[in-house]
Structure 1
Amino acid sequence: MKTQVNLGKDSVFSLVLHLAIPTMIANFVNVLYNIVDRMFIGNIPKVGGLALAGAGVCGPIVTLLTSFGSLIGLGGSILFSMRLGEGRKKEAETILSNSFLMLAAVSAVLTFLFLILKNKLLMWFGASAVTFPYANTYMTIYTLGTFFALMAVGLNYFITCQGFASVSMVTVLIGAVSNIILDPIFIFVFRMGVAGAAVATVLSQMFSCLFALSFLFGRRVSVRITFGNYSSSLMRRIIHLGISPFLIMATDSIIMIVLNSSLQRYGGPAEGDLLITAGTIIQSYMLIITSTMLGISSGTQAILSYNYGAKQADRIKQAEKYILMLCLIFTSVMFLISRLLPAYFARIFTSDPSQIRMAVWGIHVCTLSIIPLSFQYAFVDGLTALGCTRAALTLSMFRKGSYVIFVLALPAFLGAKNAFYAEPLCDILGSAAATISFFLIFQKHLDRRMHEVPPPLRNDSPMKTV
């Protein structure tokens, strides 16, 4: 397999596979950060169930923190790819320089804020008096490693969009494999419990971060990290492009927080912690599906952005078709697996029969509409890659808003566990809205781009390869 590809000339189908498959694998493996932690935490003697519920409360907050890496990394890499497609290497270099500074600054601010607010956040987001100590321990240690998490996530986009999808995958694999090795050592050998899981995760993210930094400072890439040429207007442009995928990821965290709060409120002392423990297992399973599908749709955005910059409409259409096809194949396979094997997945986390039964039932419910969800991911991320951030954000917020309404209304009228039906209902509505909107917007947007007059090149020569 080639380590680098030409986004403007290679076969579109081979490009989609070359970028999508490593990113799918990388995102799937990245989910192991959460799953491996939860698996070992759930098997801590005597307190595994309560510790797992505490870690489950932390999960959405962890996702919210790392989504800031995508705000800058994905927003910057979309603009970066467009400039490479236009042959503007110097401008692409400036975008990477500004993105690097933003990642460092945002990670420092978030570390400070979350350390101050974490106690209140954990109680608001579903921790009980019993599970709070476990959640607080995990969250405190994880927050101290925010810099490594954001850098690893954000910089990896700039590796992918320069055609090094396999290197991007290695960045994630380094962290995941390290986490798998370190978790049992810190949790059981050193007897650190939940604290050990958090320490293992932070160290693993540090290894990923160092690898990404060494690669982007090295000589293999066409555009390396530099310092200087900082621009507030360029930073605003990066945020403008990244705000849609950021809010998509951030609201994923928010709706998990709303779900946990709803389960705790309507489940009460009798069922609240049980439902959150089962919900943590269900959310881990859904993360495998959504993160891997996000690998397809976001990992291939560089193809769309580059060819949008190069005004190659036919290649954009071909790529979008293949991206949707891959999403549909993946979700169809996962739908069948979800009907047959969820009990085996649940047993990884717990041996409690009641928790297993609840988790299996919830997985069956939450995966009812994952096949239509393919259209949501392919079309919304496709619009984002072409710079249609307002439309993409509106479609995403429609789906997430529907989820929040369902997750609050269903348990109030039908009982706590029926909150899990919010997932398939919002997936159906969101996918229908995304499909209709995409076909109304896509062709018109391409036509406008094809008739644009490009500005003159400034101190740069056209890029022949990426």
Structure 2
Amino acid sequence: MNPEEIGLEKPGRAYFAPDDLNDPALTRLIFRLGLPAVAGLSINAVHHTINMVFVGMIGAHEIAAITVVLPILMMIGAIGEGLGVGVATAIGRALGSNSPQRANVTASTFMVLAVPMGIALTAGILVFRRELLGLFGASEAIMPLAEHYLIIVAFSVTLTMLQILSDFIAISEGNTRFSMWTLLGCFALNIILDPIMIFGFGFGLAGAAMATILSQIAAIAAYALYFRKRIGTLHLSARFAAFRADILKPVLSIGLPTTLTSMLSSISFAVLFTYAGFYRGDAGIAGVGIALRVLTLGMLPVIGLSLGGQAVLSFAWGAGKTPRLLAASNLLLLLTSAFCVAYGLGAVLLRYPIAAIFTDDLEIARIAALTIVVTHIPFIFFGMRQILVVLLQAQGRARLAATISIAQNGYFLLPLLFVLPHFLGFEGLLASLFLAPALTALLSAVILFTTLRQLRGDTDLPIATFTNTVSERAS
């Protein structure tokens, strides 16, 4: 008799089984889902930080080169992230409304779509690589280095898309542990390969790109095993792919605004690095790039916790459990806000030692330390903004979620960058970096208060009205 038939599953398989998204112990569930996601994305941030440290050992031009390539990689990640968020929320709502086959079809459809999309993006990058690098501020001194690096990483675009989608699918069914260990293995391998490829084989900056590709291949192999062995609850297969409006629309309505948000971030970074290079040269690009790396290090744990929490939020909304949705949202707000305050203030106080980790160039370190101050003071409100976005996405309120997502790097930062540096120079650039998140925090606070008040009102609905609301959400 098969051990699984009598409930005696293998310990490894049982460990990686998804959590019950309907677990009544909400606080424990949030931590069980959120902490592995936090760990996984924190490892991601540490990996990229260590990668920059290794690149910094080669020289300042190499740091500047990898910095101008970063927005292009962010654009690729934006597409994968947008699809991933849309797929995850759709899967969560489907599972909450007890429609597992719909969840299978949604996941399978977008995994199939990821391959031709990745190939098309790779072709576009290779054809327009010099134009893209010029757009993102590459000077003549760093253009050859940046171009060489970009050509190599362009071939990893499809791998990136598949890895991001796989990660979101696993998280959406409550399996953040597998996501965490896959990321841990992937980034540990990358960190090991970095010095080997960069210094051992003498590949330099190209070695960093090759190390990334090899680690991505390992991660995709792990996810292929995960889905093939059906370790989770979802069953993925190419034959399930269905390019119907009822499958595509719920994902794209959430995913496209998320992608647009990250695209606007890339455009904002292009303008940002252009101005930084104009006013402070390559030192300005490197210094601002270091500060943004440090900011990312703090943002990813918050995003990780919200990813774990989003599975709970989407499931609760699909099941029509408004009180549970409200309770989970409040808990996530408390946890993320506490972290953001601690990290933001800590980065400001330790700005000079932090900058010294990345470079021994005094001018780059001075610019990095100053930029850390102006970006990390408003960071203390980032948790509120992030949880508001995932709450709105879980409810399927795509337009309002897009309004918040686009705010900081869209209709706040870009106009500020086009105005303030013209009058204040580099100080205007720094002022823009401070004002954009501050204004976004104010907007988020207003919408969050309104949203939570509406949810509290839902819990007081008459039974008949509440039952109708649940039926509408499930459909």
TM, length-normalised to structure 2: 0.90
SS in 2 for 1:387: coil
How far apart are 1:203 and its partner, in Å? 1.1
Q: Does 2:311 align with 1:302? A: yes
Q: 2:89, 2:149 → 1: CA distance? A: 34
Find 1:21's aligned residue among 25, 28, 35. 35
How far apart are 1:36 and its partner, in Å? 2.3
The residue aligned with 2:239 is 228
Q: Does 2:202 align with 1:206? A: no
**Cα 1:219/1:407, change in 2 over 3 Å:** same
Q: Which runs of 5+ in 1 are unaligned?
A: 459-466
The residue aligned with 1:437 is 447
**Cα 1:449/1:405, change in 2 over 3 Å:** farther
Q: 1:255, 1:93 → 2: CA distance? A: 37
Q: Could you give the per-residue CA deviations for residues 14-57 of structure 1, whole angstroms, max 9, x where no partner exists?
A: 1211122111111111123432221111111xxx1011101100
Q: Does 2:178 align with 1:142? A: no
How far apart are 1:449 and its partner, in Å? 7.6
Find 1:275's aligned residue among 275, 284, 301. 284
Q: Which moved more, 1:337-346 or 1:105-114?
A: 337-346
Q: 1:183, 1:10 → 2: CA distance? A: 44
Find 1:340's aligned residue among 349, 355, 363. 349
Q: Which amino acid aligns with 1:341?
A: L
Matches within 5 A, 1:106-125: 106-125=117-136
Q: Does 2:223 align with 1:245? A: no
Q: Does 2:21 align with 1:7? A: yes
Q: Answer yes or no: is the 8 Å Cα contact 2:318–2:474 preserved in 1.
A: no
**Cα 1:273/1:391, change in 2 over 3 Å:** same
Q: Does 2:86 align with 1:69? A: no
Q: 1:428, 1:323 → 2: CA distance? A: 21
SS in 1 for 2:469: coil
Q: Answer yes or no: is the 8 Å Cα contact 1:278–1:358 preserved in 2.
A: yes
Q: Which moved more, 1:49-58 or 1:9-18?
A: 9-18
Q: 2:132, 2:46 → 1: CA distance? A: 24
Q: Answer yes or no: is the 8 Å Cα contact 1:241–1:387 preserved in 2.
A: yes
Q: Which amino acid aligns with 1:83?
A: A
How far apart are 1:185 and its partner, in Å? 0.5
Identity percentage over the alignment?
25
How far apart are 1:443 and its partner, in Å? 5.0
Q: 1:282, 1:411 → 2: CA distance? A: 18
How far apart are 1:451 and its partner, in Å? 3.0
SS in 2 for 1:92: helix
The residue aligned with 2:196 is 185
Find 1:262's aligned residue among 275, 285, 288. 275
How far apart are 1:76 and its partner, in Å? 0.9
The residue aligned with 2:90 is 79
Q: Answer yes or no: is the 8 Å Cα contact 1:108–1:147 preserved in 2.
A: yes
Q: Answer yes or no: is the 8 Å Cα contact 1:275–1:417 preserved in 2.
A: no
The residue aligned with 2:51 is 37
Q: Which amino acid aligns with 1:451?
A: N
Q: Does 2:452 align with 1:452? A: no
Q: Which moved more, 1:197-206 or 1:402-411?
A: 402-411
How far apart are 1:343 and its partner, in Å? 2.4
How far apart are 1:456 and its partner, in Å? 12
Q: 1:313, 1:100 → 2: CA distance? A: 31
**Cα 1:25/1:249, change in 2 over 3 Å:** farther
How far apart are 1:423 and its partner, in Å? 2.5
Q: 2:432, 2:134 → 1: CA distance? A: 23
Report how many aligned residue pairs link the two structures. 451
SS in 1 for 2:23: coil
Q: Does 2:118 align with 1:104? A: no
- RMSD of equivalent CA atoms: 2.1
Find 2:404's aligned residue among 384, 395, 416. 395
Q: 2:397, 2:466 → 1: CA distance? A: 12
How far apart are 1:399 and its partner, in Å? 2.3
SS in 2 for 1:454: helix
Q: Answer yes or no: is the 8 Å Cα contact 2:43–2:183 preserved in 1.
A: yes
The residue aligned with 1:463 is none
SS in 2 for 1:328: helix
Q: Which amino acid aligns with 2:24?
A: D
Q: 1:289, 1:66 → 2: CA distance? A: 18
Q: Answer yes or no: is the 8 Å Cα contact 2:348–2:377 preserved in 1.
A: no
Find 2:332's aligned residue among 315, 320, 323. 323
The residue aligned with 1:421 is 431
**Cα 1:158/1:410, change in 2 over 3 Å:** same
TM, length-normalised to structure 1: 0.92
